[in-house]
Structures are given as structure tokens and as C-alpha cells.
Structure 1
Amino acid sequence: MPRTPLVIAHRGASGYRPEHTTAAYSLAFALGADAVEPDIVATRDGVLVLRHENEISGTTDVASRPEFADRRTTKRVDGVALTGWFTEDFTWEELRTLRSFERIPGVRAANTVFNGWYGILRLKDLMRMIDDASDRARRQIAMVAEIKHADYFSSIGIPLDELLADEISGWATGENLIVEAFEQTVLERIRARGVPGRYVFLLEESGSPADLVSRDGAGARTFADHLTDGGLARLATEVHGISVNKRLLLDIERGRLVGATDLAHRAHEAGLSIYCWTLRPENRFLPRSLRTGSRAGGYGDWPTEFRTLIDSGVDGVFADHPDLVRELLTTA
């Protein structure tokens, strides 16, 4: 019998509202998402907050706030030099004064109408929202918690594993929590702290996990190494599942979508669940053969891509527009 994948609202219903805002998560619940996915970083005083990255100039109004002008700096995060404003240089009381902005205004101009409407959420705020929404819906809505840049935060004395375990103690269960990260080290540490739930390793198309690069340098195992049959078998002894860039599941030749790869089948054969990210309907994110018109933000033939990914056998999909996936599943 075909699997019905989990519909995970990526940073809330971020296709319709600025990501990681109260409105984005509330809309995701209303649109029938099975789960919501927050990205988790930390403040200087150890408060876990929801932002795509710890560098926040692209998602808040911090650059226009003169009182924080002196916080602008350059840092190296996971080997990449970044200039801007960083959550770990703010206390929560300072960070809560900022307002959220649309991260990709060139694609989602309509979302910019909501720039400045909403503040920054803490992890504990979203936990409360999930509980309330689950009660209203009379079903358990889950959280897929992505831990961001754990090796970097650890290097500056902010242990995200410890902070998460403390924050989520008494709330997390095997049914309402999935923990994911691009670094297995933090997954192992959180699991060792007794946090219940399922653990998922995130994989990219290229490169190596930051924690392994930090430990092993140029000899670090690559993401590609993890995706061999032997790598998947090894991962099955360490995590419950993997979550991959959708391009690893799509067979695309010269911009034309041909079909799906066998990755989902191979993951299942190894005993792993598999999820993919990120399903988006706009031309900017679709293979060339599925684009319609010339506008980056215009919708292309998203049903074809979405259906190809669903039919590949994945156990869950991350989507900025969870209602579109739900509609596709309902009308299949």
C-alpha cells in the first residue's frame, strides 16, 4: 500500500507569511499540517529562538535599528565568513524588540506586506502554540526541531544540546517530536540526555558535515559517503531517518525532470525513514522544464514535481505551502 507522507510545514506556512512568525505557524495548523519545523538558534543568555540562521539581518529589522549598529560584525560559521548581526550577541530582552521580515522578498513580494507585524518567537512559545493547536484539532501536531550550527555554538560556550534538553523536558514524547540536524554529534548528545523522539540526519548534495570537518579536517566523511549503501546501513544503526535535499530524489537531465532516483528505496532497504526538503511551487525553485512564464515568484507546474517526490516513497515532505501538498494527497 502506498505511503502517505507526513506533511511538514517548513518554518510554518512560510509561503504565505514571513517564516518563523506566529502567523506562519498558526496558518500552518489551519492548513492541515501534520507537523511544523522550526530552526533553532540561541541568544547570548541561552534562550532558544526560532530563526533560519543565527545571522538575522535578512529576516529582521535589525539593520535599521541604530541602537544595535555596533553589533554588526564578521564571523566564521561552519567555515563560512558572514557579516551581519548574530543572535548570540543579543540577550533575549534585546532580541524580542526586533520585528520579522520576509526572507526572500524577490520571490514572495506579497509576504512583504507583513514585514514588521510580528516579533521573534522562542522555542517555548511554539511549544505552547502546538499544544493549543493540537487540542483544537483533536489530533497530535508534531514538531520537527532543526538544531542549527551546533558545533559553532558549542565552540563559543553555548551548548544547544543542553539548552534543548532542558527546554523540552516534560513536553517531548515519542509522538510529538522529531529532532534533526546536519551534524550527528548534536543528535547523539541530545539523545544521550534522554530526550524522547525520532532522530533524523540532514544531508546535502555536496560537502561534509560541519562537526566532522571541525574534527577531521579535509579527511571528513562527505555527505555523499553517507548516501552509499554502506553509509546508509551505518546510519541506520545511529539515527532513525535521513532528510535530504529534494534534488537527491529527482532525476533531472539538462533542466528536464525525468523521474525519481532510487534513494528512497535504498533508505528503506537500510531500515531508515526518509524525508525531503523543500517543496515550493514558485518557478525559482522548480526544474526549468516545469517553469511557467518568466516571473521567479510565479507558480509553475508544481504538481508534477510534488507528485514525483511523493511517489518516490518518502515518509515526509517539508513544504512552504502545506495546503498544496494536502490538496495533492487528497485528490490523488
Structure 2
Amino acid sequence: MRVALLVLLLASTPAAAAPLDFGDRPARLVAAMAEGRLKARLEACAAKPPRRTLFSIGHRGAPRSFPEHSAEGYRAAARMGAGIVECDVNVTRDGALVCRHADDDLPATTDILLTDLAAKCRRPFAPGRGAECRTSDLTLAEFRSLKGRMTHVVKGAATVEGYMADDGARGALMTHADSIALLAPLGVKFTPELKAERVVGAARQALAGALIDEYRAAGVPPGDVWPQSFQLDDIRYWIAAAPEFARQAVYLDGRYRDGLDPLRPETFHPSMAALKSMGVNIVAPPIWMLLTERDGRIVAAPYAEAAKAAGLKIIAWTLERGGPPGADNWYYRSIPGAAKRPGALYKTLDALAREVGVIGVFSDWAATVSAYANCMELD
């Protein structure tokens, strides 16, 4: 009941006027843990006043209960104590930077199929085939006319309504500049991720520069921004063209797709030392690349040890995603034994903080990480 009330409050109350509130989810997660020192310490913090922490990063806002990259989701993450909130940056047909995880995710994340803009979809809805609708095919005005919804489609559905399986919840879509204007007065900092994978070459460098320029135009200090990309060339561009912002640039490490094994340093190409020599200071892999199991304990994987030895800082993604911890949750794939035990979520988070020494953790529900960081007095 308290979670439902918190969702209503987060959605209806301007975050600038709202006190921080972790809700009851952290306490329920702690209650599910096996008895031990970690559970006892977290329980002892239950009455501790909430505070904002940079350790807690709102992944696309608060998509566990709010439409991703919506004003409502960003406000929710801010109220739950996230010190940093993410905007994934894609681009409209007329060149506006907007917060959207993928160029072609509009059918799953917005109401486009219920509007006249469905006529602009690359592949209109067809029974059993779904639809493909791209942000890059819309003008900014058209994009703004859409409403965000909880991410979901039913593949193979025969009707638009069945395909969307819509719960009716809506959220206001955001431009990148909107996200800055919303979050800055709340004392929340920024981690934009340059997406727009179809933009390449000189056009991509121009887009990377435009992303940084929107922070300059808003008067945001470079120390309040953690620009991210899966493309190492984007990081290197920022190092060369915007060094003051590149100090906190985050290399999102997706090299597991190309054969990197976090247990085998010989597969790290480029090596951690080479990344550091390029000017990279922060790497951000998925949770499973940072952890392994040893004698029933969750410990740092060789990937994490190598990154730390090279002087790289580490951010992890993404807690509270993919369902509860378990062997079938991709984010926990390297710790299948630990993931099956009661309280695995906070055990995992504690291992990331203590064994790996991460500086931050992305979460689909910021309160979970914020409550832990508040208890452990992490910045």
C-alpha cells in the first residue's frame, strides 16, 4: 500500500517542494534478507533521515513505476534521493536533442500508435508484426505532442490495443534541455548518454559537441555532468574537444558483445591501462561483469580488479532491472548461487560498494540505492 501511495505522491507533487522519501520498498527488501550483519545495519538505519547521494543514479528516471525519460519519472528519482539522473540522448528530424533510450522505441514507450503520427511510422502496425516508429522521423513539435507510457509491447498481438497492452499511465516527454531545466533546481546532477547510433562520422561529432553545448548554455558546471557513451570514439572526442567535461566522461563497457570475458584479463582489448592512457577515467559495465562467486561469497571479478589497478573509477548498471535477482536475470548471471538466496539485491549492492568500490550504481528505482548509501554514509 505504501508503495502505491508513494507513486501517487511522486507523480503529483512538484519535486522542488517535496521532501525526500525512500518509501517502504527498501525496508521490505531488507526484511526479506537472511539474518546477519548487513541486515542488522540496514535495519538500524530505518529511521535515519533521507538525503541525496551521488552514489544513487536514476536510470532513465524511475522506470520501475513511471514512464521512462518522463518528467514524472525524473521528479520521482529526484525525490527518492538520486544525486544523478540519466537522459539517453537521441535526435529529432529537425536536430533537437531529446531524452529517449532508442531511436525506434516509440511504439513501446509512447502513445504514438494511438495518434495521427502513427502514419509516420517506418513500418506501420500490422497484426503479428508490431510497428517501427523512429524519433528521428519526427520534428520536435511532433515529438512533444506524444505522451510517455510504461515500456511494454505484446509481440504477435493482432490489434494495436493488444500490442500496447496499455495501462493508461502517461508521462510528459523531455528534451535534453528540458531535463537540465527540471533537474538543476532540485540539486540533481546529470549523466547524459549519447545514443543516436545511426548518426556517424562528422555528424556524430557535431552531435557530441551539441550535447555538451546544452550544459554550457544552461551554465551547468562541468563537475555536475557525467557524459556517457558505449562508443569509445565519443569519449575520445570529448577528451579532445571538451576536456573540462571529459574528466567525468563514462565509457559504458559493452565489450562483452565482442568477446571480453570479465574473468580473463587477456581478453580486455584495449586493456584497462590503455584506456587510462587515452584519458578515460570512468568505466561502467553491467553488474555481472564486476562480480563473481568464491567460497559462497560475492567478490570482485578480475575485470574490477584490473580497472582499479589502472586507476579507473567504476559505475555499475542496472539494479532493480530485469525482475528480481535470480539465475535467469541477466544482470546477476555471474553470481547464480548468491542470486538465489534471500536478500540477494542488497547483498549484491553491498558487494559492489565494498568489494568493487564502485562510485555509483544505476537503478530503475532510486530509493533502493539511496537508502543503502544513506545508511553507509556514501557520498
Question: Could you say what secondary structure the match of 1:57 adopts?
Answer: helix
CA distance in 2, matches of 1:329, 1:125: 28
What corresponds to 1:309 in structure 2? 352
Q: Distance in 2 between matches of 1:246 and 1:232?
A: 17
Q: Supply the distance in 2 between the matched residues of 1:226 and 1:320 (Cα, whole angstroms).
A: 33
Distance 2:304 2:353 in 1: 10
Q: Deviations over 1:135-190 (max 9, x none)?
A: xxxxxx2201111144x213695642132133222434232101110002122223
Specify whether residues 235 and 156 from structure 1 end up closer, same or farther in structure 2 by C-alpha distance, changes over 3 A only: closer
Q: Per-residue deviation at 1:90?
A: 0.6
* Aligned match of 1:240: 281
| C-alpha spacing 1:195/1:165, structure 2 compared with 1 (3 Å) | farther
Structure 1 pair 223–183 and aligned structure 2 pair: CA distance change class (3 A): farther
Tell me what 2:147 maps to.
99
Query: Is residue 18–residue 114 contact of structure 1 (8 Å, CA) maintained in 2?
Result: no
Map 1:148-159 to 2 at 5 A.
148-150=195-197, 152-154=198-200, 157=203, 159=206
Distance 1:49 1:230 in 2: 31
**Alignment partners' CA distance in 2, 1:105 and 1:85:** 13
**SS of equivalent residue, structure 1 residue 206:** helix
The 1:258/1:300 distance shift into structure 2, 3 A limit, reads closer
State the one-letter code of the partner of 1:42: V
Residue 120 (structure 2) pairs with residue 64 (structure 1): no
Q: Does 1:90 align with 2:130?
A: no
Task: Check if 1:274 corresponds to 2:322.
Answer: no
Residues 54, 83 of structure 2: 8 Å contact kept: no
2:191 aligned with 1:144: yes
Report the equivalent of 2:75.
26
1:194-233 alpha-carbon deviations (Å, 9 max, x no partner):
363211111125224xxxxxxxxxxxxx656897396100
In the alignment, structure 1 segments of 5+ residues that lack a partner are 75-81, 107-111, 135-140, 209-221, 293-298
SS of structure 2 residue aligned to 1:314: coil
Determine what percentage of the aligned residue pairs are the same residue. 24
Q: Distance in 2 between matches of 1:235 and 1:52?
A: 26
SS in 2 for 1:196: helix
8 Å CA contact retained: 1:205, 1:248: no
Larger radius of gyration between Structure 1 and Structure 2: 2
8 Å Cα contact 1:5-1:317 kept in structure 2 = no
Distance in 2 (alpha carbons) for counterparts of 1:226 and 1:178 = 29
Aligned length, in residue pairs: 289
1:313 Cα offset (Å):
1.2
**Residues 1:104 and 1:310: Cα distance change in structure 2 (over 3 Å):** farther
Letter in 1 for 2:222: G
Q: Which runs of 5+ in 2 are unaligned?
A: 1-52, 125-129, 155-165
Q: TM-score, normalised by structure 1?
A: 0.76
Aligned equivalents of 2:352, 2:120: Cα separation in 1: 46
- Which secondary structure does the structure 2 equivalent of 1:207 belong to? helix
Pairing of 1:249-328 with structure 2 (within 5 A): 249-251=290-292, 258-280=298-320, 282-283=323-324, 285=329, 287=332, 289=337, 290-291=339-340, 301-311=344-354, 312-328=356-372
Residue in structure 1 matched with residue 223 of structure 2 by the alignment? 175
Aligned partner of 2:209: which letter? E
User: 2:256 aligns to what?
Assistant: 206
Matched, 1:120 2:161: no
- Kept in 2, the 8 Å contact 1:97–1:119? The answer is no
Q: Is the contact between residue 108 and residue 153 of structure 2 (CA under 8 Å) also seen in structure 1?
A: no
1:322 corresponds to which letter in structure 2?
Answer: A
User: 1:9, 1:36 within 8 Å by CA — same for their partners in 2?
Assistant: yes
Specify the code of the residue in structure 1 equivalent to 2:314. I
